[in-house]
């Protein structure tokens, strides 16, 4: 056992749940519980004791991809959303101290949050909202960062824009935050797509002005609403299925953003209207260690204050119990049904 200056005992070994290579790709059979050395922070790193995590589509994608890497024998600890307590800090860390309760989404190149402890760069972290418990907080960092970066870094929405924003696939984790941020920080008329009565009601409760069904044609539903021009459209899933209608609906010189990975994407349908296309990948800043990497710390800090003021609510909607192998497998399988409303969370080993 090692001990910090504040008498927090840190074990030499920690439990984790990881994906193994050379197993079945499209199932959760390659998820196993393992024991790993507890890492130590250096430079600007924090060591965080994990209290709660959420499961995102990226978890299932990395799990499936890792299963095909037959030449990689290293277990991959998944998990890219976490809330926990700082138990040790690197020698160059300046923003946090031992005992701080934090939230973050981490980075793809590190071992993930499905473990008792995790190393994270402090530039990607902020103090968690005081008004949320760990489970409520863990539901939000990845989606907050993705939504904020898409709305304000990529599409550059302005506060006084009172035209329309269409969000396709709005009932998931990212859309649930995106609606709240757009409602709070712009004058946009927000249209969200859903496919079921319960997800449609969820969107209305979050602040959507209008909802339509993305399992039906979008164009006639939008025309029936008699709204101002749609100068911003965001597609969160199944972009390839909706691209022709997106091209028809978007205003000339509009901006289109997406976060998914369509198998086909013929950008030429957007040329006539001079539409700009923006791909949001939340891990770009951490992956390339960009000069503005600390912006994710700023975004999380600002939104934490909004939450504590009651302006944004947690999107936790599915609690799968303790973070153990059985529950994590169930959470992955649920995410893969594409029927989640809001976020899926597990809490504590």
Residue 64 and residue 167: Cα distance in Å, rounded?
27
**pLDDT(90) > 50:** yes
Residue 34 and residue 243: Cα distance in Å, rounded?
43
Q: How confident is the model at residue 163 (pLDDT cuts 50, 70, 90)?
A: very high
Mean pLDDT of 319-331: 96
296 within 8 A of 303, measured Cβ to Cβ: no
Residue 183 and residue 55: Cα distance in Å, rounded?
26
Domains and CATH numbers, the chain: 2-140+284-347 (3.90.180.10), 146-279 (3.40.50.720)
Q: What percent of the chain has pLDDT over 90?
A: 86
**pLDDT(25) > 90:** no
Q: Which tens digits make up the pLDDT trace of 99-150?
A: 999 999 999 999 999 999 999 999 999 999 999 999 999 999 999 999 999 9
93 within 8 A of 122, measured Cβ to Cβ: yes
DSSP run (H or E) holding 86: strand 82-89
pTM higher than 0.85 for the full model? yes
Mean predicted lDDT score pLDDT of the chain? 93
Q: What is the pLDDT of residue 342?
A: 87
Q: What is the pLDDT of residue 95?
A: 96
Mean pLDDT of 33-55: 97
Residue 172 and residue 178: Cα distance in Å, rounded?
10
Q: What is the pLDDT of residue 70?
A: 57
DSSP code string of 297-311: HHHHHHHHHHHHTTS
**pLDDT(182) > 80:** yes
Could you tell me the two tokens for 67? 């299963």
* CA 86 distance to own-chain centroid: 21
Mean pLDDT of 35-50: 97
- Output 140 or 342, whichever has higher pLDDT: 140
Residues 6+ apart with CB under 8 A from 272: none
Helix (H/G/I), strand (E/B), else coil: 116: coil
**pLDDT(68) > 80:** no
DSSP run (H or E) holding 286: helix 284-287
* DSSP at 215: T
Q: Which tens digits make up the pLDDT trace of 246-287?
A: 999 999 999 999 999 999 999 999 999 999 999 999 999 999
* CA 167 distance to own-chain centroid: 16
Q: How confident is the model at residue 23 (pLDDT cuts 50, 70, 90)?
A: low
Mean pLDDT of 164-170: 97
Residues 6+ apart with CB under 8 A from 71: 21
Residues 6+ apart with CB under 8 A from 107: 120, 121, 124, 283, 286, 287
Helix (H/G/I), strand (E/B), else coil: 74: coil
Q: What is the pLDDT of residue 24?
A: 63
DSSP code string of 35-47: EEEPP---TTEEE
Q: Helices (DSSP H) in 56-172: which residue ranges?
A: 57-67, 134-138, 141-148
């Amino acid at each position: 056992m090692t001990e910090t200056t504040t008498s927090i005992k840190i074990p030499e070994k920690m439990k984790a749940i990881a994906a193994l290579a050379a197993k079945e790709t499209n199932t959760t059979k390659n998820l196993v519980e393992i024991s790993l050395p507890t890492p130590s922070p250096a430079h600007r790193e924090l060591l965080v004791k994990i209290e709660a995590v959420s499961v995102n589509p990226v978890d299932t994608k990395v799990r499936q991809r890792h299963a095909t890497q037959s030449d990689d024998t290293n277990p991959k600890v998944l998990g890219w959303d976490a809330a926990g307590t700082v138990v040790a800090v690197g020698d160059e860390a300046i923003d946090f101290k031992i005992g701080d309760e934090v939230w973050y989404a981490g980075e793809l190149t590190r071992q993930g949050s499905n473990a008792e402890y995790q190393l994270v760069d402090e530039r990607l972290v902020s103090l968690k909202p005081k008004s949320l418990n760990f489970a409520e907080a863990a539901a939000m960092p990845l989606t907050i960062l993705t939504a904020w970066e898409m709305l304000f870094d990529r599409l550059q929405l302005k506060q006084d824009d009172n035209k329309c924003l269409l969000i396709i696939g709005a009932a998931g984790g990212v859309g649930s935050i995106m609606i709240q941020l757009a409602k709070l920080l712009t004058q946009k008329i927000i249209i969200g797509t859903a496919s079921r009565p319960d997800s449609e009601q969820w969107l209305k409760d979050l602040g959507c002005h209008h909802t339509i069904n993305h399992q039906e044609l979008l164009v006639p539903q939008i025309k029936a609403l008699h709204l101002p021009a749609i100068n911003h459209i965001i597609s969160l899933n199944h972009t390839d299925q909706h691209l022709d209608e997106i091209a028809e609906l978007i205003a000339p010189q509009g901006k289109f953003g997406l976060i998914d990975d369509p198998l086909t994407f013929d950008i030429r349908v957007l040329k006539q209207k001079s539409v700009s296309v923006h791909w949001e990948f939340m891990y770009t800043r951490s992956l390339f260690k960009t000069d503005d990497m600390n912006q994710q710390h700023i975004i999380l800090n600002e939104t934490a204050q909004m939450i504590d003021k009651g302006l944004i609510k947690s999107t936790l909607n599915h609690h799968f119990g303790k973070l153990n192998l059985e529950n994590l497998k169930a959470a992955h399988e649920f995410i893969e049904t594409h029927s989640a409303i809001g976020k899926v969370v597990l809490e504590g080993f």
